[in-house]
Amino acid sequence: MSYSETGPSRMPKRTYNIPNMLTYGRIIAVPVVVLCFFLEGRLASSEPARWAAFAIFAIASVTDFLDGYLARLWKQSSNIGRMLDPIADKLLVSAVLLLLAADGTIAGWSLWAAIIILCREILVSGLREYLAALKVSVPVTQLAKWKTTLQLVAIGFLLAGPAADNYVDYMTETGIALLWASAIITLYTGYDYFRAGLKHIGD
């Protein structure tokens, strides 16, 4: 039985192209980073596990740029890639923020920055789902892309912080400052999305 160019025979090629594989890898990185935190409390020295978590997170963060760039460059954009890319970002950021809060790297007032980021992601996801049912698309703004980049950089500093503080001063403090900066931008972009979406919300 033969299939057309746009039929089922094309599905594996679209599903398992390199940009999508990078997105899948970012999702797989989440439980691996969790495992590093699990091992951190069971090793004689926590530094190796902490550096491993940082390295995995850094590589996963780079794929956030590469998957979209390569998909556009090679004209390999796909529906599954567009669906999973933001999901992978949110899983990675949310999981690591929870881990950092659990081990005390993020504590006190800084927890509010993490809460702002997590709440915004949940609210905007809900808004997007509602608008999708109305067949309304809310495009990702350039500022929202910078917000994601700043979040990833802040979390990278915080992941390395406890280990890197032994070699470079104020790594953790720099991560906390960047986290607050990303939280402020997160609030603004969240408001921007809701302002754009409110006109489509009827009675």
The token duo for 18 is 């390199």
The structural domains of the chain, ordered by start, are 8-198 (1.20.120)
Q: At what angle do helices 142-164 and 171-198 cross, to 10 degrees?
A: 160
CA–CA separation, 98 and 34 (whole Å): 10
pLDDT mean over 134-148: 81
Q: What percent of the chain is modeled with pLDDT above 70? A: 90
pLDDT mean over 128-157: 84
**pLDDT category, 9, cuts 50, 70, 90?**
very low
**19 neighbors 81 (Cβ within 8 angstroms):** yes
**pLDDT category, 191, cuts 50, 70, 90?**
confident
**Top-confidence residue, 57 or 15:** 57
Q: How far apart are the first and last CA of the chain?
A: 50
**150 neighbors 178 (Cβ within 8 angstroms):** yes
Q: What percent of the chain is modeled with pLDDT above 90? A: 44
